Copies of this chain bind each other. A is one copy, B any other.
Amino acid sequence: MSLLVVGSVAFDSIRTPFGQAEEILGGAATYMSVAASWFAPVRVVAVVGEDFSERHREVFRARSIDITGLERAPGRSFRWRGEYVGAMNEAHTLETHLNVFAEFAPKIPPAYRESEYLFLGNIDPALQLHVREQLPNVRLAGLDSMNYWIDGKLADLKKALAAVHIVMLNEGEVRMLSGHHNLKSAAKSVQAMGPRTVVIKRGEHGVTLFGEQSIFSAPAYPLEKVHDPTGAGDTFAGGFMGHLARTGDHSDSNLRRAVIYGSVMASFAVEEFGLERLLTLTPQEIETRYREFKSLTHFDA
């Protein structure tokens, strides 16, 4: 089944202890769609500027991602410049130029309306809700957000949350949104806002999924080579939603598998700068790392 992702496409300039890259293709919608493309047919709604070239389009096409909904607007594309130091737990933003993204008003092409799965990347929650309302029949809708919207657009965010099945947030965001320090209490409080599944992204510490029936915790894959953490959370979301769209199964046990596939994809993403590793994967590598996650976490009952 098809997954529709909505979010940003950006040009990122990144410096880490392992090197740097200038104006490479990035943005949440890009990482989400490329990651998900390994699992299911993917469609993108995003906006780019006049500097988005045929070469950039080809990145999506090579992964068979439908970019009918990739709007080209007058002006320059979203640009972000950031750096990571030390243990690289946190991006330090040096420059953000929203450019055409500042006026992003997602338009859903008619051919996208029958998408069964929807993931709303981190954009204005009023826009997230607007998109959600245009796809009333999706089987599963997920949403990402951030402190900026929790702080400044809480009422809109709560409306958007009430309209989705899954929300993905990091630890700080879920604490901020709920007002609880304790993560279990925080997750319960967010579930009461609407989404029956709350996925808490913990970076190098892994992911915890609070579901309707149970809690599932997965560690991050211990990598010796982490060259660029950019896009790891969006890549996780793409792998997670992609696996659900591929299988059409929303059971507790399949949501757990989705967490692992998301973690697998994120573990690949950070090995190289930008999309590099996600574009050169093989299905065999994905399955091998899935089994390595099993070995990493298994113990006898």
User: How many residues on A have C-beta within 8 angstroms of the other chain's C-beta atoms?
Assistant: 38
- When the two chains form their complex, are residues B184 and A206 in contact, meaning their CB atoms are under 8 A apart? no
Instruction: Provide the bound-state CA to CA distance between A13 and B97, in Å.
Output: 51
Q: Hey, which chain B residues are within 8 Å of A224, CB to CB?
A: 182, 184-185
Quick one: which of A209-247 are within 8 Å of B by CB?
A: 214-219, 222-224, 226
Given contact pairs A205-B202, A208-B222, A219-B217, A300 touches B87 in the complex (Cβ within 8 A): no
Query: By the criterion CB–CB under 8 Å, are B184 and A222 in contact?
Result: yes
| Closest CB in chain B relative to A197 CB, distance in Å | 15
Verify if A86 is at the interface (C-beta below 8 Å from B).
Answer: yes
**Are A183 and B214 in contact, with the CB atoms below 8 A?**
no
Q: CA of A182 to CA of B227 in the docked complex: distance in angstroms?
A: 11
Q: Are B257 and A214 in contact (CB under 8 A)?
A: no
A87-B175 contact in complex given A217-B296, A222-B183, A224-B185, C-beta closer than 8 Å: yes
Q: For the complex, what is the distance from the CA of A205 to the CA of B219, rounded to whole Å?
A: 9
Chain B residues with CB below 8 A from A222, complex form = 183-184, 208, 215, 217
- The answer to whether A217 touches B206 (Cβ under 8 A) is yes
Whole-angstrom distance between the alpha carbons of A206 and B219 in the complex?
A: 9
Whose C-beta in chain B lies nearest to the C-beta of A295? B214
Would you call A190 an interface residue if the criterion is a C-beta within 8 Å of the partner chain's C-beta atoms?
no
Q: Is A298 an interface residue (CB 8 A)?
A: yes
Interface string of A27-69 (1 = CB under 8 A from B): 0000000000000000000000000000000000000000000
Contact with B along A245-279 (1 / 0, CB 8 A): 00000000100110110000000000000000000
Chain B residues, CB < 8 A from A257: 299-300
Which residues from chain A sit less than 8 Å from chain B, CB to CB?
Answer: 86-88, 175, 181-185, 202, 204-206, 208, 214-219, 222-224, 226, 253, 256-257, 259-260, 291, 294-301
Extra inter-chain contacts (12) besides given A87-B181, A182-B224, A218-B299, CB under 8 Å:
A87-B175, A87-B182, A184-B224, A205-B205, A205-B206, A206-B217, A214-B296, A215-B222, A216-B299, A259-B299, A260-B299, A294-B299
